[in-house]
Structure 1
Amino acid sequence: MLWRRCRHPVLSSHPVTPMNGADLRNHLRKQLEADIGLMDINELSQDGENVKEQYFKKIQSHDILLLDALNHENMRVIGRLLWEKPNKSTQFVVGSSGVEYALASCWRDIGIPTLNFSNFYRSGTIRENVLVVSGSCSMITHQQIANALSNGFHGIRIPIHLFTNNQQYLKSFIEEVVELLIGGKSVILYTALGSRDGSIGVTREHLNALGIQPREYGHFIGKQLGILTNEIMNKCRIGRLVLAGGDTSGFITKELGIYGLEMIHQVSPGAPLCRTYSDNRHTDQIELALKGGQLGGKNYFEDLLKLNMIRKC
């Protein structure tokens, strides 16, 4: 099914940056002051030299250039444009896994070998359990959580009191989670079940009462979830961790001291299983999956629990 961005059930109800229009340029202008250009699918469909010339002109005349895509051919063209840049200056490219798909398509076209991950990993021991931490309000994540809970996962709603400086409450909550994990349970910690969850409004009121501004909600909650996850991992090393929610994933990985990821298995498009590189011993060389709110199938969490991958070499 195709959606306008402003009508997508997840994007239109995002708690921090809801889409209320189909033009991504207008959406981004609300978040930053920059001259934003666009290269649309008609321009990308021109012949090779014309599309290059158009691209080079636009990247020189705009602070940011959006590249639109509708099909695989558009992605191949984008990959070639990114790879064959006109000068040796550094490019800063922001995007979803589409960036990787575009570049990989280009590399195959020009004969650069790409990795086949099946050459590096084979079946190993299935993980006994996983820890899932979700700050996502997406209905898709809600469905994934509900499905996992009906298939043996233990769910705990993260209480609003955890978003305070009550260290004793935090300590007892962590002890409860660690006890479940040590006992072999797969645990899902979640802040909300979908965008219509009444706890979202209650949480906003609570944060308001603490003097936290609406624009700081995401950062504050993400940091608290990161502190919570770090404490749990420090007390009970879990081999496989799953973070649900795009903003949540960024904040938590920062708190965990993770500075690098190595993809080890394609669980679902845009949400692979990775190996971590971290400054902290308890979060270094663990398996980590980062999942945006709208990504993954309904069995995503169970698939990660059952997945068994270890290095061949």
Structure 2
Amino acid sequence: MSQIQSLSRSCVLLAVLCGKHADKQQQRAPPGRSGPEAKRLRPSYPFPELSSAGRLEVHTLVNPTPEQFLEAQRLVQPNFFYIQGQQLEDEEIGSLVWGDADMSDPQSFVCLISPPFPTIVYLEVPIGEKLAQAVHSKGIPYVIYWRNSFSSYAASHFRNALLSVVQSSVSHTWDSFQLAHASFRLYCVRNNHVQSVKLGPRLLGDAPKVNVVTPENEMAEEEGSSSEVSPAIKIYDDDINMKFLLCGVPSTLVSFDILDDSCLLGSLEDGLNALLNIEVWSKAL
């Protein structure tokens, strides 16, 4: 298999949060308090807490200076950057601002990424295509970004799905994104939290290539056979147990006509394909 360098048994994540966003996430209604004041204090859809778990090691910076960001890279040497925008009052995700410094300029931001470069950068900021292209051109193999504005609900769901895959399995970045994106489509797009799947997160980077090595005796047999005959598919184990995670509400398959629902079929297809690929990659290490 090629591109095995994109896999590792552990993932070191450096998360950079905007200060206002981080403070807002920590707001909670005091015990026993209810009514309008409690509703004001508690976000309608808070982001799950970032913490180390499984194969995911998390390091967090809140509202850093450029110098602190560079120093954290040197000390931590992460292979995954998570860059989060500020949370606005209307529950939308805002631009990249650290304190009073606007970090949205692509050229200024990429100058702050120092070697050794991470394998993946997730830019959770609106209208981030130009920023993502600048980061990708720096030599980062995979960059996740949003082309549009989006809500904290959509952002939270996708981030939680993505990090759940990373922390629980040895997976290639491509497959981690595909599985998280399938979950995003099933929940956010189908429930109208996002108008179209085209408005969801996107991935810059190439799909992994899998090279299947054919044993020498099988190659000799194929050379002596007709080129029009496809090689036989062999099952080497009669008892195969596989675990599948299907993302969706329990009534999904009953409430909708599965034959006419391309969103559901496409999500299930991409999610299951990613799960199979993750199983293959995990056996490669």
Q: TM-score, normalised by structure 2?
A: 0.29
Q: TM-score, normalised by structure 1?
A: 0.27
